[in-house]
Amino acid sequence: MTDKSLWQRFSDYHDELFMAPWRAGIAREARSEEDVLVALLFLEALGIPGPADYYALELYPDLIEAFHRWHQRMGMETFPEAGVCC
């Protein structure tokens, strides 16, 4: 037995009805946006001068994990440039 109120259960059911059909599509869109952002921020690591580098330096520590996942999705199991991530 759950201690959730009837309203809470209805609300959960209702919101799940809203989310379920689109969960996959939205996650894909979010991932593709993240891919663009990460690519933009880490252009320098790839040897290309990045126009956003100066403005985004402080984001590097927060995004290094995302960058690791990104290069793996792009087909590089380990990143070739030393000292960037893995």
Partner 1 sequence: MPAFLLIVITLVAFYFAYRFYSRYLAEKVYRLDPNFVTPAHAMRDGVDFVPTHKHVLLGHHFTSVAGAAPIVGPAIAVYWGWLPALTWVILGTIFAAGVHDFGSIVVSARNRGQNIGTLSGKVVSARASTLFLLIIFFLLTLVNAVFGVVMAILFEKNPGAVVPALIVIPIAVFIGQWAYRMGRSIVIPSILGLLLLYAAIPVGQAYPIYVDGLAEAVGLSVRTTWIILIFAYTWIASRLPVWVLLQPRDYINGQQLIVALVVIFLGVLIGWDTISAPAVNEVAPNSPHWFPYLFITVACGAISGFHSLVASGTTSKQLGNETEARFVGYGGALGEGALALAAILACTAGLGAAGDWNAAYADFGAASGGALGHFVTGTGHFLSNLGIPATLGATFAAVVVITFAGTTMDTGVRLQRYILEEIAELAGVKALVGRVNLLTTLAVLIPLGLALLPGGDSSGGKGFAFGRLWTLFGTTNQLTAGLALSIIGVWLLARNRNPLAALIPLVFLLFMTTWALLLNLGDFFAKGDWLLLVMDAAIFVLAAWLVVEAFTAFNRERRNPSAGAEES
SS3 83: coil
Q: CA 80 to CA 45: how far, in whole Å?
A: 10
Q: Is 4 a binder of partner 1 (CB under 8 A)?
A: no
DSSP 8-class letter at 63? H
Q: Is 27 a binder of partner 1 (CB under 8 A)?
A: yes
Burial class from Cβ neighbours inside 10 Å (0-12, 13-18, 19+) for residue 9 reads exposed
Nearer to partner 1, 27 or 57 (CB): 27
Interface residue with partner 1, options 1, 2, 5, 13 (CB under 8 A): 13
Nearer to partner 1, 26 or 74 (CB): 26
* Residues near partner 1 (CB under 8 A): 10-11, 13-29
